[in-house]
Structure 1
Amino acid sequence: MSFKKALTVSAAVAASLAGSLLTASGAHAATPSSSTHVVSPAYSAYACRSWTTHNYAYITNNISIDSCYWVENNGYTISATIPFQNYSGTGVVYCAHAINVNTGGWAHDFGCGSGVSTGQGTTVAGTGGGAPGYSEYWDAPAGTYVVSTGFWLNGRYYGDVQSPRTTIGAH
């Protein structure tokens, strides 16, 4: 099974468990958010995993990350931010993608933040590049999504930290 397929399967399992948090390095307990943000035109929405769990997800090597989404006022353009606490002494590249909650599949690649970062801060996905077709902003079709964040460390991807769900209405 390819790594991307394994992450997709992990995302599907996470979605079916109503927001359980899975990572490439093992399972982390998380308090799932029971509320879904329904976004309509003329309303924006912003939410982070830590608002529900009250902490960042500890991943490995003194690195913890969060997963946040922003829906623009048009009700369907989504971007992703990745708050982080990296006390490992090693810079990592933080990335994000959207997962369709209903199918478990990747819906969009936001790409990665610019540069490698240590300490505490926030990076915006898509400002530092990504796979072909990535973009910082995504005009999402109607559906329910989570933003999944992670990072690259020593050639290995860690993460799959999922934001609360957001539902994009017809537009």
Structure 2
Amino acid sequence: MPAYYDIYGLSKQRDKITVEKFLNYFSIREKIENREGQEIAVYKNEKYKTEETWTSIISLTEVIDFGIENKNYGFAFYIGDNLIEGINHIILKFTFDGKVIFGISVEEKKIDDIGNLIDNYDKALEVEKKIAELTNSTKTSIQFEYAPSDDEEEFDSDIELWRNMNEEKRKK
């Protein structure tokens, strides 16, 4: 199984228009609507005083509506089918503090035109810029096999951690 860069953008735009704009760009939207048999898992969070809850859903629209209507619920929803070329996963992380982390995973390595296995970090940088543009993300980060943060405070800590790691990687 390949390793992935996880590219995240933190946005205060927790609304249907922004979420749909993101999904329409990175997926074949009509083909990812059916989510029958899946669930939304909101985990207990002491800091935000939320209890664990599980909600069965049948559509992606239900996921989006649930996230928008429940501003203090934090949960992640992953999509791995019917995405545009070069994109491996979409991550929608509705944070406990009323924001959204928009995420995209791309393979860490790719094969170039002459058959060499090369780092795919430049693709991650392109995706990072596009996420910021589409979602009005105020903060972005390229991470490696790392789950999205629960809130903006945690995202800030993660940004610093990964900025240092990525700078070291680019020096090599």
TM-score, normalisation: structure 2: 0.36
More strand by share: 1
Higher relative contact order (CA closer than 8 Å, sequence separation 6+) = 2
More helix by share: 2
TM-score, normalisation: structure 1: 0.36
